[in-house]
Amino acid sequence: MPLRQTAELRALEPTPVPSVRSRCADLIDTLADGCRLGRDGLVTLITSATAADQEHARRRAVAVAHEHFGNRVFVRGLIEFSNHCRQDCLYCGIRKGNRAVERYRLDAEQILRCCAQGYSLGYRTFVLQSGEDAWYTTDVVVDIVSRIRAAYPDCAITLSIGERGREAYQRFLDAGADRFLLRHETATADHYAQLHPPSQQLATRLRCLADLKEIGFQTGAGFMVGSPFQTPEHLAADLALLAELRPHMVGIGPFLPHRSTPFGDRSAGSVDLTLFLLSLVRLMLPTVLLPSTTALGTARPGAREQGIQAGANVLMLNLSPQDQRAKYLLYDGKSVSGEVAEMTHAVQRSLERIGYTMVVDRGDHPEVAR
C-alpha cells in the first residue's frame, strides 16, 4: 500500500478506547468537539496528560488537519532581511544588547533575488522577517512589498517585522502584504516582564495583534514552550489567548537558549510538550495555519516531521542568502547551511516518507482563501 494511504488510514483510525477513560481524554474530546476549556481544564491537560493522552490528542488533531487540508503541507520561503533590532528580548540571539552579532541588511534588489529563486522552486509565499529595524521605515517597507506584489501577483507576502503603528500596518496591507506574524511569546504580563526589559510591554504586543487582525491581515500569534520562569498556568493562558484572539496562524516552538544572552545557560523547552500543544492548538482552531517550526527541528532530529504528524500543516524554509544566514541566529544550533534547491527537495522527500505532499500554493487560511 502506498505510504500516503497508510498514513492517512492510520491517522483516521479510532483511538483504542482505554478501559477507564482518563479525565484528560475527556478534556481532549471536549476540545475536539469545538468547545472551549477553562483555565483549570487547560492546566490539567498540560500537567497531567499521559503519553496515551498525548497520543489520543495527536490522532484527533491529525484527523482534523486531514479534514481541512488533506495530506497537503504548505511551504513558505523565509527571507531574513535584517538582523538589526531595537528591542532587547532576553532570550533572543540578535537582541540589541548582543554586541557580538555581525549585523546586516538586505536591500530591495537582494530581497527580490531571494523571491525569484524561491518562485522558481515552487514557493508561493514569501515571509519577510527581520528584527525591529527602523532603517526600514514605513515607506521603505511599502516600496519592498509593492515591488514583490508587482513581480509576483500570485504569491502571498507575509511580514514578520515586529511592533509598528496601526497606520503603518494599514499601509503595508494596502501595498499588497497579506499576512503578519507577531508572536505574543507569553500572554501573562508578569511573565512577559521576566522575558523582556521594562520598555517592552505585553499590552503593546496585544494592541498590535488586535490592530493587525482588525485591519484585515491574516494574523499570526504564538509562544515559546519552556521559556525561563514559565509555568503550566502561563501556557494555559497562552492557549486561552489563542482561543479568544482566533489568529489565522500560530507559531509555537520550544525555547532554545542562545549562549550570548542572559538565558544562555537555561535548559531548552520540551519537544514532546511542544508536540502536544501543537495538537491541542489544531483541535482548538481546526483551520489554523500551523507551522512545524525550525526550532522544533533544531531541538530534536525528526521533530519537524513529528510536528506535521501532530497536526501542523506548514513548513518554513530559508531562502536567505547563504552568506548571511549564520548572522540571524535567534538561538544556538540553528541550521544555516544548505543550498535552497537541495533543502527544498530534501524536505519534499521527508514529507513523502510520512505520507504528506508539499504543495505549490499560496496556502491561505480557509476563511480568506481566494
Instruction: Please report, as ranges, the residues that interact with ligand SF4 according to CB under 6 A.
Output: 85, 87, 89, 92, 94-95, 131-132, 162
- Secondary structure class of 284 (helix, strand, coil): helix
Residue 118 or 131: the one with the smaller Cβ distance to ligand SF4 is 131
Q: How far is the CB of 161 from ligand SF4 (least distance, A)?
A: 9
Q: How far is the CB of 253 from ligand SF4 (least distance, A)?
A: 12
Q: How far is the CB of 93 from ligand SF4 (least distance, A)?
A: 7
- Residue 336, CB-side half-sphere exposure with 13 Å CA sphere: 15
CA atoms of 115 and 141, how far apart (whole Å): 15
Residue 204 or 357: the one with the smaller Cβ distance to ligand SF4 is 204
- Across the chain, the runs of DSSP E, i.e. the strands, are 72-82, 125-130, 156-160, 179-181, 218-225, 249-254, 314-318, 357-359
CA atoms of 181 and 159, how far apart (whole Å): 6
Residue 84 or 246: the one with the smaller Cβ distance to ligand SF4 is 84
Q: How far is the CB of 38 from ligand SF4 (least distance, A)?
A: 30
What is the grid cell recorded at 367?
476563511
Q: How far is the CB of 150 from ligand SF4 (least distance, A)?
A: 28
Q: How far is the CB of 92 from ligand SF4 (least distance, A)?
A: 3
Residue 63 or 101: the one with the smaller Cβ distance to ligand SF4 is 101
CA atoms of 121 and 111, how far apart (whole Å): 16
Residue 19 or 199: the one with the smaller Cβ distance to ligand SF4 is 199
CA atoms of 148 and 156, how far apart (whole Å): 9
Residue 2 or 198: the one with the smaller Cβ distance to ligand SF4 is 198
For 173-220, the DSSP string reads: HHHT--EEE---B-S-HHHHHHHS-TT--HHHHHHHHHHHHHHT-EEE
